[in-house]
A and B are shown apart, each in its own frame.
Chain A
Amino acid sequence: MVQILYILVEMAKKIIAIYFISVFVGIVFFVGASFLLKSQPDCANSRTCKSDLLVNVDNNAIGMFQGQKVIPPKIDLALDTLKPEYAVLGASADTGEKHIYINLDTQTLYAYQGKTQVMKTLISSGKWGRTPVGNFNVWSKLRSTRMAGGSGADAYDLPNVPYVMYFYHDFGLHGAYWHNNFGHTMSHGCVNMRIVDAKELYGWIDGPVSGQKGTPVSVCNKFISPNTCVQENPIN
């Protein structure tokens, strides 16, 4: 009898041990798989995505887009610091939250401060890569950086991309000097703007400061008004 009881107790111990080991292994796999799935961000610039997204000025480099050579604009950061010349969007009396809306349907960007529309202009969103739909915040502002990626005929390498405002991983709003086809999709996922428009927006938009998030950016499939941004399958 004692022998049988001893065997039963030993079996119970082993079953409990198996239960805890199984739960532990399940948790480990859950955490591991979650980490691996989340650590694969969408990437507009497949080369720069592997490195830091930092300020980069190269006034001697030649750009390349759609198999065509492009001469990048010369950028002098020292001159920028002395004389930024950023136009101020909106009136000084404007109050309220700043918000950027991108209408993918009409390829239009809207900038609002409170209820006041301070900018409306044509943009070029993703043609060779999808522009992510969702609600984001500007997480980095760079006066200039290098963007490169794609492959084959779609490969691109663009130094001195001006007025970059990243809002999701390496997807950002920025000036484009290599084409002038705004109002039509033309990018690998970023939001291309005329340089004059990007410059104005760059001077107006807020990056993250002292723990506060940067200016919100909503990418909409259709934008009707600030309270009606239609988003199909947003990523967040």
Chain B
Amino acid sequence: MTIRHQLELETISAVTLAAFVGIFLAMYNNNHRPKSSIFSSIPVMQEEQVSAVSPLPAVPVLPKPQIISQISSDGTKQVIMRTTYNKDNTQTYTFSTADGSGANEQAIISKILDSTKTMNIPFNTWSPDNKYFFVQEQIKEGSTSGIMAFKALGEPFNSGEKYFDVTDLFIKRNTGNNFSEATGWASETLIIINTTAPNNTKGPSYWFEVPSKAIIQLSTEF
């Protein structure tokens, strides 16, 4: 091998090596930027003041009726729940719907529950098109004991029912999994149901299709 050939070989080797080094450095630079695990450039917020607890009244009185409401995503509809506390230790829950402004209120249903249960309006109560809504009944310890789905104005479904008891329908379907919660609406007609498996692990999720009452098991967990 002549000196010229040797130099040519060394040139090719050096240039190839330089190219690899360049790519390696670029990849290293791209993947190893400095990262912080705690973002701490924002000023500290003042601690919230804890308000003093009011003393109990000397004579026991029934709590005042409560009104809560939940507005739809577009702000045009709302569900209103009025809770009245009765002397026999039960509560009356009265549901109505109205426009976002509160106008055109329409009574939907009233239900009396004993003190072991409560009712509430979930954050995701309205279907995305505001045609349906659902409310839930809970045992006071926290587990959901019932989901009731209504049409927006409380009119009956085609089957003549005023509402669908989603939990009851799910139990009757006998899927092998236990109803856990209804999280919200996957689309205009589909309520998302989460379950627990018989061994108490997380079970599959389901869709409950409101008009048809169909229950569809999903491959995706919500």
Contacts and interface: CB of A to CB of B under 8 A. Distances in A.
Interface of A: 7, 11, 14-15, 18-19, 21-23, 25-34, 37-38, 65-66, 68, 70-71, 73, 99, 112, 114-115, 122, 127, 135, 175-186, 194-196, 199, 218, 220, 225-234, 236
Interface residues of B, number: 51
Given A33-B22, A181-B185, A226-B43, 11 more contacts: A11-B3, A29-B18, A33-B27, A112-B45, A127-B220, A180-B127, A181-B222, A182-B124, A184-B183, A184-B192, A225-B44
15 contacts: A11-B3, A14-B11, A26-B22, A27-B22, A32-B26, A33-B23, A33-B27, A70-B188, A112-B45, A115-B43, A115-B46, A183-B184, A184-B183, A218-B39, A226-B42
B74 A177 contact: yes
A227 B42 contact: yes
Interface in B189-205: 190, 192
B114 interface: no
Interface in B41-67: 42-46
Interface stretch (B29-37, B83-91, B149-157): B29-37
B129 interface: yes
Interface of B: 3, 7, 10-11, 14-15, 17-23, 25-27, 29-30, 33, 35-40, 42-46, 71-75, 123-124, 126-129, 183-188, 190, 192, 220, 222
B40 A227 contact: yes
Contacts of A220: 39
Contacts of A19: 14
B73 A180 contact: yes
Given A220-B39, A227-B45, A181 B11 contact: no
Contact of A180 (B14, B21, B75, B185): B185
B19 A25 contact: yes
B18 A71 contact: no
Contacts of B73: 175-177, 180, 194-196
A226 B220 CA distance: 33
A31 B25 CA distance: 10
A234 B38 CA distance: 10
Contacts of B33: 236
Contacts of A176: 73
B75 A135 contact: no
Contacts of B14: 18-19, 21-22
